[in-house]
Chain A
């Protein structure tokens, strides 16, 4: 069974640029959630996708957007990057979108905005 994978591992971008992060779900999981984790803090929920539709969103501006594909892989796009967007971005997959939310996380993408 393949776990959750994310790419790239690390990324450096300049303020104002756009970035796309990718995630492959664990086999059999149809739900993907994205999180932002700043240094020393717990992850903050960005949004969740279930069967290619957004299924819940955290307190993040519209410049954070996502996609889920028919094979349940997913992308997180961030436009007009700001310095505060520097963080570890985590993707998590689940076998279903409902409670209890048993999520399986990928290793994350470390984004640095300069």
Chain B
């Protein structure tokens, strides 16, 4: 069974700090998606990475797909309170069609 493990599980930082969230698996994924979810809402798609080694930028967010397509990272530069939320990686699973990571709950303090 494919699993996506995220680290850290919780992160509380001050506004202006940088942070990196990791998404790791022992399995290869053809693509990975990153989502952000706020309380009481559904996840919102941030980005899709497809090619090994691919780097995508979305304003202050940088997403990277590992060369072997087994892992991914999300780096946020100069975090702001509006970045607060649950960050989820997800990808097409083997046995089950689609799996989500365990999630990283980020809180950015003003």
20 residue pairs from A and B, CB less than 8 Å apart: A35-B100, A40-B103, A41-B102, A41-B103, A42-B103, A43-B88, A45-B96, A48-B98, A56-B96, A59-B96, A90-B42, A99-B30, A100-B33, A100-B92, A101-B33, A101-B98, A102-B48, A103-B45, A106-B42, A108-B40
Say yes or no: A45-B42 contact (C-beta < 8 A), given A99-B30, A100-B30, A101-B33.
no
A57 to B9, CA, bound (A): 27
Majority SS at the chain A contact face:
loop
In the assembled complex, B97 has its CB within 8 A of some CB on chain A = yes
Closest to A48 in B: B97
- Asked if A96 lies at the interface with its beta carbon under 8 angstroms from chain B, I say no
Of residues 86 through 107 on chain B, the ones whose CB sits less than 8 Å from some CB of chain A are 88, 90-93, 95-103
